[in-house]
Structure 1
Amino acid sequence: MPRVRELEVFRLVLPYGRRPESILVRLTDHGGMTGWGEVVDPAPKTWAALEELLAGALIGVDWEHPDELGVLPGGSAADMACWDLWARMRGVPLSHALGGSRTSLMATVRIGAERNLESLVARVNRHVCAGYAHITLDVHPGWDIEPLRAVRQAYPALSIAVDARGAYTDVGALEALDAYTLSSIERPFADLAEHAELQERVAAAVLLEVSSLAELDEAILVNAGRALLLRPDVLGSLNEARQVHDHAVRAGWKIACAGGRGTGLARAATVAVASMPGCALPCDVAEPPRSAQIVTPPVGVVGGVVAVPLTQPGLGHTVDVARVRRLARDSYAA
């Protein structure tokens, strides 16, 4: 039975891109076993909730399974740490603890707008040469038909999705993209009714992102798509991610997993979730820069494939605690 005797919380500013913030939670039980969790770009009150409330919710509390703990202060980071600790104590990979069965995952790579079509095709070529068999192109009004046509002409057999990031209001504009044999059209609109209309008119799966089981229920009810973008770090817990997965599978929807930038911990949890049976679409867990990773082996893609770690229990990665302390801008222990 897990019983946390000590916890530490670290706030990091990551050394890449726009320098996103990441909060890590480390739990230690009475036998010295540890579990880790991470939330990237946390809400403004997350640090205060972890500092003020997490110790009271976990230290000295007996529990048999992470599901018993309900919604923890600080959300997904604390929940992930509990799952990691629980799985490590039982000697099982987190993927198996969640019901996952895959040993490897097909990966996608997201490609944003380029300066011109030649630059775009050259960038796609680099990823195809690196082993990717699927790409996701960012599109928006004014940058959609021409880039898609250029990539499709260069790579007739390549599996392609487009991600609109809610930028469209006209169903017809996206319907025209269906001629290029897309695997999915991701997040096209802000309104579910427009998603449903588009799905009726295209062969590609319309893919939605939800932040709760209730949102998924509503989308299924109005036939707003046939696929789900599942981001475990957006949901409150790994149990909720599993519930969303199961509900989507029952509705006949396919699932793509994405998210978890940060230091590698959140990405490792995304990999575990993506190993579940319904997550058949290519996942997005592209490797963050090595300057930010605190785990060994690094979480990333090799030859267009992500390995699901099965040789170590829990998240399946060793955390470089000394590096965490060097990167930490702030920390709290109880």
Structure 2
Amino acid sequence: MRIDRIDVIRVKNPFLHPFETSFARFVERDALIVKIYSEGLVGYGECKAFHAPLYNAEDNVTCHHIIKDLLVPILLHKDIEGPEEFMRKISFIRGNRLAIASVENALWDLKTQREGKSLKTLIGGTYNEIKVGVSLGIEPTITALLQKIEKYLLEGYHRTKIKIKPGWDIEVLKEVRKNFPDITLTIDANSAYSLDDIELFKAMDDFNLSYIEQPLAENDIVDHAVLQKAIKTPICLDESITSVEDARRAIALGSCKIINIKSSRVGGIYESVKIHDLCMKHDIPVWCGGMLELGIGRVQNISLASLPNFTLAHDIAASKRYYTEDVTIPYVDITKDCTIIVPDETNGVCYTVDEASLDRLMVSRDVFK
């Protein structure tokens, strides 16, 4: 396919409620949307970086630079077979995976249209619907957190995940388990701790957690291996896994028993599938994490999570969980069983981009043609 034009659109969308993690408090989603034109078709990808280098070393400014100055010249007015060839062409670039993934995702969108097949079919997905979990940020009080947990349990969410940080951890868990002794519960530290806190994590074994997500440094697998050997609760790695090679090393070291795959964190869907296949070979279950996406990224996550080793509940909630307005038609929503139907050729589920909504949320647009 020949690439005729590429737009990079910056949008801002306010959250219904602020969302707080161990590293930041978010009040809006500041995102870049990549729009690629090819022979009468248009493909979309969502860059999942934030306004500052908070989750990893990238932010919207660095991603805009990489897309504009490196990725656009590789593609514009060139012929390319698809996302696999694109990944080979950009293999000289170190890191910058959030930027790369936004373009790669748009190329997958074009590929689905050109071949008349769903993303689920193209990557070998098997699930017709996926289970949804809820991720809850750090609240002003424990009482407020308990109220939110109860609300989402009544809505049927299959797993409850709560964010923790030093000072908001063991006492919170005590209260949550006191009020909800039998729920499927996980915690996410977003790299807020070190091995100095090993006794704290040993104490968490008493709370029957399904896993502890990324407790230690965002680029570490060695200390996580030490911690995993010291505790019974499975460790789930997130930020530490940026490639299939990272996953291979973590599995070899025993750094985790579960991996959270975010396609944006690893450079796109192509690398995500390779990580999925490696984990499946080694009996490491995976699930699909979220980055507070708009609908474009959310829909692609749904298809990724249809692969057979995505066996745990995902951070892919309904659009209305975060936003009053989203950029897809229809909005992503959950079923009465708190699942999401995976779009494919047989079920009639199809999402398109709402250009009018995109225009309303747009802050700026760069056009390359």
TM-score calculated relative to the size of structure 1? 0.90
Query: Once the 2 structures are TM-superposed, how far is the Cα of residue 227 of structure 1 from its aligned partner?
Result: 0.5
- The 3-state SS of whatever aligns with 2:151 is helix
Q: How far apart, CA to CA, are the structure 1 residues paired with 2:358 and 2:192?
A: 37
Greater mean deviation of Cα atoms: 238-247 or 79-88: 238-247
Structure 1: unaligned runs, 5 residues or longer: none
Deviation track 1:36-64 (CA, whole Å, cap 9, x = no partner) reads 11102244232234334544322443333
Q: Within the alignment, does 1:203 sit opposite 2:211 as a pair?
A: no
Relative to structure 1, is the Cα distance of residues 52 and 223 closer, same or farther in structure 2, using a 3 angstrom cutoff?
closer
Alignment of 1:1-334 (within 5 A): 2-16=1-15, 17-30=26-39, 32-40=40-48, 41=50, 42-70=59-87, 74-169=99-194, 170-190=197-217, 191-209=220-238, 210-288=241-319, 289-303=322-336, 304-311=338-345, 316-333=350-367, 334=369
Matching residue's letter, 2:122: A
Q: Sequence identity of aligned pairs in percent?
A: 26
Greater mean deviation of Cα atoms: 51-60 or 5-14: 51-60
Relative to structure 1, is the Cα distance of residues 13 and 308 closer, same or farther in structure 2, using a 3 angstrom cutoff?
same
Q: How far apart, CA to CA, are the structure 1 residues paired with 2:108 and 2:291?
A: 16
Query: Once the 2 structures are TM-superposed, how far is the Cα of residue 185 of structure 1 from its aligned partner?
Result: 1.0
Matching residue's letter, 2:269: L
- The 3-state SS of whatever aligns with 2:35 is strand
- The 3-state SS of whatever aligns with 2:215 is coil
- The 3-state SS of whatever aligns with 2:4 is strand
Matching residue's letter, 1:145: I
Instruction: Judge conservation of contact 2:299–2:332 (CA < 8 Å) in 1.
Output: yes
Greater mean deviation of Cα atoms: 185-194 or 129-138: 185-194
Instruction: Judge conservation of contact 1:27–1:82 (CA < 8 Å) in 2.
Output: yes
- The 3-state SS of whatever aligns with 1:283 is coil
Instruction: Judge conservation of contact 2:14–2:323 (CA < 8 Å) in 1.
Output: no
Deviation track 1:180-216 (CA, whole Å, cap 9, x = no partner) reads 2111111111243432233224333210111222322
Q: How far apart, CA to CA, are the structure 2 residues paired with 1:250 and 1:180?
A: 30
Relative to structure 1, is the Cα distance of residues 57 and 224 closer, same or farther in structure 2, using a 3 angstrom cutoff?
same
Matching residue's letter, 1:171: I
Q: How far apart, CA to CA, are the structure 1 residues paired with 2:362 and 2:335?
A: 29
Matching residue's letter, 1:203: K
Q: How far apart, CA to CA, are the structure 2 residues paired with 1:23 and 1:261?
A: 13
Instruction: Judge conservation of contact 1:259–1:285 (CA < 8 Å) in 2.
Output: yes
Matching residue's letter, 1:226: K
Relative to structure 1, is the Cα distance of residues 141 and 15 closer, same or farther in structure 2, using a 3 angstrom cutoff?
closer
Q: How far apart, CA to CA, are the structure 2 residues paired with 1:43 and 1:37?
A: 14
Number of aligned pairs? 331
Greater mean deviation of Cα atoms: 296-305 or 203-212: 296-305
Q: How far apart, CA to CA, are the structure 2 residues paired with 1:312 and 1:125?
A: 36
Greater mean deviation of Cα atoms: 100-109 or 322-331: 322-331
Instruction: Judge conservation of contact 1:11–1:331 (CA < 8 Å) in 2.
Output: yes
Matching residue's letter, 2:243: S
Q: How far apart, CA to CA, are the structure 2 residues paired with 1:113 and 1:237?
A: 29
Query: Once the 2 structures are TM-superposed, how far is the Cα of residue 129 of structure 1 from its aligned partner?
Result: 0.5
Q: How far apart, CA to CA, are the structure 2 residues paired with 1:49 and 1:118?
A: 44
Greater mean deviation of Cα atoms: 176-185 or 67-76: 67-76
